[in-house]
Amino acid sequence: MEFQNVVYNTCTQFVLLCFIALKAERLSDDGGGWSVISDFRLQDEGPCNIDVLDSSLLSYRQFIERYAYSRPVILRGLTDNTKFRTLCSKSRLLEEYGERRVRLSTANTYSYKKVDVPLQEYVDIFLRPQSVDTLGSDTLYFFGDNNFTEWQSLFDYYKSPPYVLPHTSGAYSFGIAGPGTGVPFHWHGPGYSEVIYGRKRWFLYPPDQEPHFHPNRTTLSWLMETYPNLPEVEAPLECTIRPGEVLYFPDRWWHATLNLDTSVFISTFLG
């Protein structure tokens, strides 16, 4: 009888673990209504040569000593933004903010065009896959330029990464973008990036290694045309981040991003 109980308990635990794993898999595949299986997606996630760690294995002190001022890192389980994720589903976001205007910017370092449209119009008209031959000056991208007064009720539910650099505070930039879109190489102060829905591929270089790129070409065109011909010494640090993962990038590191799916994302800039 004791043996039977042990077997039963073991089987029960195994079934429970399988259920948890399947539930986690469904959660990771949940697009929040932003994308469906038939949508265009970029399948190549590329290699990952950035440290990916469970946050429970990295203390704040270790983060400061190993990464904060020297190299990027991807942390899993650093925050629990389940509630924020629910509020960012397509139906919930459009219901609450669809009539509010968002500011779109050209996705390049060549021009500074700004266009204000209602969020519903952006989703209906501008949120579409990126063509490889589209110039950055012709691409309108929703990221940053948020009206914090109007969006504050949403941001109140976001739990930003707790590992803050000394003498800094965080500022949010929220975005929604279609597959193939992204921002070309640029740099600024340190910060975090978290994907709420979708997948986002990152390319990074240290401050003393400026990448070769055309300021009016998109990240997608750089990936298709320049990236395959890079010599080994010019290869970037890169990885694709998914929901539940947070990427940290240090001060003045060059970086470019590419959304592989229709993605919802938020960055915390430390300044």
**Residue ranges in the chain modelled with pLDDT below 50:** 1-28
What pLDDT shows up at residue 245? 96
Assess contact for 184 and 254: CB atoms under 8 A. no
What pLDDT shows up at residue 215? 82
Q: Give the DSSP letter of residue 235.
A: P
Q: Where are the domains of the chain?
A: 45-270
H or E element that contains 219:
helix 219-225
Assess contact for 229 and 154: CB atoms under 8 A. no
Task: Collapse the DSSP code of 1 into the 3-class scheme (helix H, G, I; strand E, B; otherwise coil) and give the result.
Answer: coil
* Superfamily (CATH) of domain 45-270: Cupin (2.60.120.650)
Q: What is the pTM of this model?
A: 0.86
What pLDDT shows up at residue 43? 86
Closest C-alpha to 32, from 202, 258, 260, 243: 243
Task: Retrieve residue 25's tokens.
Answer: 């898999």
What pLDDT shows up at residue 132? 80
What pLDDT shows up at residue 30? 66
Model confidence over 81-139: pLDDT tens digits? 999 999 999 999 999 999 998 988 877 666 677 888 999 999 999 888 878 887 776 77
